[in-house]
Structure 1
Amino acid sequence: MPDQPFDNSPSAEQAVAEGLERAMALLHACSTAHGFVASPSAGQNYHRIWGRDGVIIALAALQTHDGELRETARRTLQTLATYQGPHGEIPSNVDPGTKRISYGGTTGRVDADLWFVIGCGEYWRATGDDAFLERLLPVIERVRFLLGAWEFNARGLLYIPLTGDWADEYLHNGYVLYDQLLYLQAQRTLARIHAAVHGSPDHVLQDQTGRLLHLIRANYWFDGEGIPDDAYHEVLYRKGLQAAPHCGGQHWMASFSPSGYGYRFDAFANVLASLFDVADDTQRARVDAFIGEQTADYELPLLPAFHPVIEPVDEDWESLQVMFSYSFKNRPYEFHNGGLWPVVTGFYVADLARRQRFDEARRYLHGIHRANALVMESEAWAFPEYVHGRKFTPGGTRHQGWSAAAAIIGHHAVQGRGPFRIDAHVG
């Protein structure tokens, strides 16, 4: 991204103020008696309480001082807990009116469970509502047990099936970094809860959390310095390292599985690696450089879900174009295939602000507001799900709650209130 001065003009500041006001209004529109719906727009199941979307919207609500939104955050978590599955699974989405529950499509959504645990901890820390925590503790413990079972081989990493997380029509599976990072944050949350409830630390959980941190650092960043002691599988790591000269040392690897590593840049994972203090300052700087040089366009500074784009000439295209539930969404520069996502960018703004990089944080926050202001179906401020990576046209579902949440998360982070109160130094 070229180095250009940040726009501090009155018109730019007015646009920011309008963007925040509109985002708050959309969060209120998403607020229902049962919690936050993904979108107040009808169709495609978005007018439901979602595990992933609902918690991310709740994180934004908890940064505000709006009592109604904070109460909706509580109702979101309570609704998800009420419809917990028989093995501990948290719904991917639920319609409390019709009692229709989905725990996923062709496979379950692992990150719904992870976001739920994180959301419960963040609500409790933000509000001091011990009675809420006491009520939901049995639900949280069942989720904890289920997550342990999803390690399969009891070696510390969750195994994620195809379509098993937010990239539910994309080609990654196995030991996906995004999910491991959420698992790390969920374990930190569990540790903080245990210490508060029992008055003493859970040493087994502390050991598991430390082990997971080491596994992530050792297996998802290639620096060309040999095989680390915590390599999950030495031969697999060596083969991955040999195949990664184009990206090793520039960003975190997206995933690995028995068939090898995934080398595409996963923006959400790379942002969370910094926010959750997995990355060191050198790694952060290299990821920032990669984003600025390879993925972010100054014309509309937003992060893509994944980079580079899978094109029809690529060997992955044949598999990608049959990976959909109802209709194919992942054409080049659309949806997860190079589409630009306000929600991912919102967490990047929070990370940049946390690192005192306020000019860059504000620049990306302006990008979120500009994306949210795009016109869909003749309506401005449509809050699209994503933006086309080349044409900068809006795509997906409009009135997307977590696109509004991105603006709120970014705004409050720049003001000094980040979305996560539980961190590596708490609990």
Structure 2
Amino acid sequence: MSELYEGERVTGSQPPDDGSEFARTDAIFRATEEAVRVVIGNGGGDGLRAAGSAYPQVWARDAVITGLGLLSHQTDQGTGLLKGSLDSLAACQSQLGRIPNHVFTANPETGLQADTVFAGAVDASLWYIVGHDVLSLKLPDSRYLADRWDSIANAYRWLEYQDVNECGLLEVHESMDWADLYANRYNSLLPNVLWFAANRSMARMANRLGRAADSYRERAEDIRFKINQLLWVGPEIERQYDWIKKHRSEWETPARLVDTLLVERPYYLPYMAFRAYGDRFDTLGNLLAVIFGVADARQSDRIMGYIEEAGVNHPWPVKAFWPPVMPGDEDWREYYRQYNLNIPHQYHNGGAWPFIGGFYVAALVRAGRSREAHRQLERLAEMNRMARHEGEWEFNEWFHGLSGKPMGNSSQSWSAGMFLYAGASVEEGRCPFFGEEEKW
């Protein structure tokens, strides 16, 4: 992005729909340079480390999310770092096709090892598929993709078996996505939005390789329909009870329950379980629903409006979940107390995360709120500038949801990478890799 700056404005971009312009500011320019420095500095022989000394491993989700920023920014090292990360993950793929949550080299003599602490993390395999799709858009030919196809297909097959009741959506244990100390569970939002994206990615990759792609695209549409039937409560989506009774009768009781008790919500519910549901705002799940196109324009407008009205984007963009789970709530877990992390307004439980802030800026662009996206990009730059102790441009992991103070580890790859992606989204007036231009 920085190489396009000329004078006071970025050249080569169209004015956003609302009449605002992407004007260069010192904060955005400096944050872009610092973000590149952090991400490239976190590169290593195994790929993209999640965060320097604090997280020296290659984490599947972190690497791919950071890769979105690197490839949208078009750094020379971007494709190599994402490719190296995917290669390391592939080297530790299980016999059944599962991609590990993260990999690391504990001893050079033994080589790469797969994580067993979060071994069931379902989103690792989902991001693995999306990551190969995005990477292949930047490669000069399809040879790498062809070589990787069997590994990608095996990860996809493992994911198919995570739909244990064959309803078309994934059933996921709690704490088995990015929020790995949080009690979302069963038919939860984020994994299934990523399942939609993974099928779109499979279709796009199959097309590039001359393989049959229709089944993936059809499944993606089926997933979109079912996410909207199960997890949206409001007049934007008509609940089709006749279809539910005929095809998915186990959904009828929880669906009628939320329609009766909640009536409507301006966002997707975080999960639907066996005759139970969650009623909190899963920020990342809702933002990806906007960016990937699970949500239509009316739903997107309600989601983005809620973030502003409820203050989910304060003190910084943006809180991970809202409102926080309090001790005694049904979704409270005693493991939230571990390391003093998930107590209210901290970490996943209402803390603010810069990497989600990058997706927030991109979703604002997708929703046609370009002026607000530019404003939030400025705030995101200031957020990333802050340091927990001394110095600046720390690109911290997460911030307290009330005080706004940084409380996580520094030099986070995805905090820096998603600033690059946010900047590219504002500059181009679209969400790179996930638009009509790339046949998404």
When normalised by structure 2's length, the TM-score is 0.87
Counterpart among 235, 239, 248 of residue 257 in structure 2: 239
Deviation at 1:106?
Answer: 5.5
* CA shift digits 1:326-351 (9 cap, x unpaired): 62411111101110111111012112
1:303 lines up with 2:312 in the alignment: no
Q: Which shifted more, 337-346 or 378-387?
A: 378-387
Deviation at 1:132?
Answer: 1.2
Counterpart among 144, 159, 164 of residue 152 in structure 1: 164
How far apart in 2 are the matches of 1:422 and 1:263? 28
Deviation at 1:321?
Answer: 3.0
Deviation at 1:405?
Answer: 1.1
Counterpart among 328, 334, 337 of residue 321 in structure 1: 334
Deviation at 1:227?
Answer: 4.4
How far apart in 2 are the matches of 1:348 and 1:35? 26
Task: Tell me what 1:64 maps to.
Answer: 73
Contact 1:215 1:230 in 2 (8 A): no
* CA shift digits 1:233-286 (9 cap, x unpaired): 1122111222224xx231111111114111100011111111111112111111
Task: Tell me what 2:12 maps to.
Answer: none
Contact 2:388 2:405 in 1 (8 A): no
Counterpart among 183, 187, 202 of residue 190 in structure 1: 202
1:50 lines up with 2:59 in the alignment: yes
How far apart in 1 are the matches of 2:126 and 2:90? 13
Percentage of pairs with the same residue? 26
Q: CA 1:249–1:322 in 2, change beyond 3 Å: closer, same or farther?
A: closer
How far apart in 2 are the matches of 1:27 and 1:226? 44
How far apart in 2 are the matches of 1:230 and 1:369? 47
The alignment partner of 2:310 has SS state of helix
How far apart in 2 are the matches of 1:58 and 1:336? 22
* CA shift digits 1:26-79 (9 cap, x unpaired): 011111122100011x24xx1111101011111111112211122111111111
How far apart in 2 are the matches of 1:173 and 1:409? 29
How far apart in 1 are the matches of 2:22 and 2:186? 47
How far apart in 2 are the matches of 1:59 and 1:419? 10
Task: Tell me what 2:123 maps to.
Answer: 111
Unaligned runs of 5+ in 2: 1-19
Q: CA 1:103–1:241 in 2, change beyond 3 Å: closer, same or farther?
A: farther
Counterpart among 269, 291, 308 of residue 307 in structure 2: 291
How far apart in 2 are the matches of 1:406 and 1:333? 22
After superposition, residues 358-397 of structure 1 pair within 5 angstroms as: 358-397=370-409
Deviation at 1:119?
Answer: 0.4
Q: Which shifted more, 359-368 or 225-234?
A: 225-234
How far apart in 2 are the matches of 1:417 and 1:290? 22
Q: Give the aligned residue type for 1:272.
A: L
1:267 lines up with 2:279 in the alignment: no
How far apart in 2 are the matches of 1:226 and 1:32? 49
The alignment partner of 1:269 has SS state of helix
How far apart in 1 are the matches of 2:222 and 2:73? 34
How far apart in 2 are the matches of 1:189 and 1:56? 15
* CA shift digits 1:165-210 (9 cap, x unpaired): 00110111111111101011100111111222235x3333333222
Aligned alpha-carbon RMSD (Å):
2.4
After superposition, residues 2-151 of structure 1 pair within 5 angstroms as: 13-40=25-52, 42-43=53-54, 46-96=55-105, 98=107, 99=111, 101-105=113-117, 108-151=120-163
Task: Tell me what 1:426 maps to.
Answer: 439
Displacement over 6 Å in runs of 4+? 7-10
When normalised by structure 1's length, the TM-score is 0.90
Q: CA 1:60–1:257 in 2, change beyond 3 Å: closer, same or farther?
A: same
Q: Give the aligned residue type for 2:317.
A: L
How far apart in 2 are the matches of 1:418 and 1:404? 19
Deviation at 1:412?
Answer: 0.7
Task: Tell me what 2:10 maps to.
Answer: none
How far apart in 1 are the matches of 2:257 and 2:369? 36
Task: Tell me what 2:14 maps to.
Answer: none
1:219 lines up with 2:219 in the alignment: no
Deviation at 1:19?
Answer: 1.0
Deviation at 1:8?
Answer: 9.9
How far apart in 1 are the matches of 2:279 and 2:101? 27
How far apart in 2 are the matches of 1:135 and 1:195? 15
Q: How many pairs does the alignment contain?
A: 411
Deviation at 1:291?
Answer: 0.7
Task: Tell me what 2:214 maps to.
Answer: 203
Deviation at 1:24?
Answer: 0.8
Q: Give the aligned residue type for 1:86.
A: Q
How far apart in 2 are the matches of 1:191 and 1:229? 30
Deviation at 1:417?
Answer: 7.0
The alignment partner of 2:103 has SS state of strand
